[in-house]
Amino acid sequence: MKQLFFAAIIAVSVTTSAFAGNIFINTNDCKDLNCVVENFKNVTITSKADFIKATISEADEKQEMFYNSEGDFIGASKNIAYDKLPIKAIKTISKYYLAPKYTVKSCIAFLNVDNNTMYYVSLDTKTSRTILEIDELGNTSVFSTSKI
């Protein structure tokens, strides 16, 4: 499951999006894949080995919704601006991951099936990438590290 989740994080990290209003496009109770396809005009479906991704583009916002192979909702994600992270997380990152050594590459909000939002921040140095996981309260932990 962690590999699937990490694949979803990587998949969304290569896209960009403007942040406006609420973090997520209002999908109401439309959590299954067929409902999304039927109710949104600009939807692109991509199938991967472990999941299906529906990319929704609405009013200059882009959001990605992830489903298992049966079409059941796993979660939704989108890129957000750094300043939209919880304040406590911004303070932690500013204290321990100082520029110019670290560069923020992406900030992602991920809404899971239980309606809990987690944030993921990708920070690069010249030789490594650190991905931080941040909860809704701003508590920050290292999700993964890798060499570039």
* Cα–Cα dist 137/125, whole Å: 26
Q: Are 26 and 42 in contact (CB under 8 A)?
A: no
Q: Kindly state the percentage of the chain with pLDDT values over 90.
A: 60
User: Residues 105-129: pLDDT tens digits?
Assistant: 999 999 998 889 999 999 999 999 9
Q: Give the other-Cβ count within 10 Å of 126's Cβ.
A: 7
Q: Smallest Cα–Cα separation from 74: which of 108, 32, 11, 45?
A: 32
Q: Which residue has the tokens 């209002």?
A: 26
User: 16-25, 89-98, 109-118: which has the highest mean pLDDT?
Assistant: 89-98
pTM of the model: 0.78
Arithmetic mean of pLDDT, 61-69: 90
| Domain covering 2-147: architecture | Roll (3.10)
- The model's confidence at residue 93, banded by pLDDT at 50, 70 and 90, is very high
> Can you say how many angstroms the Cα of residue 64 is from the centroid of all Cα atoms in its chain?
8
DSSP assignment letter at 21? S
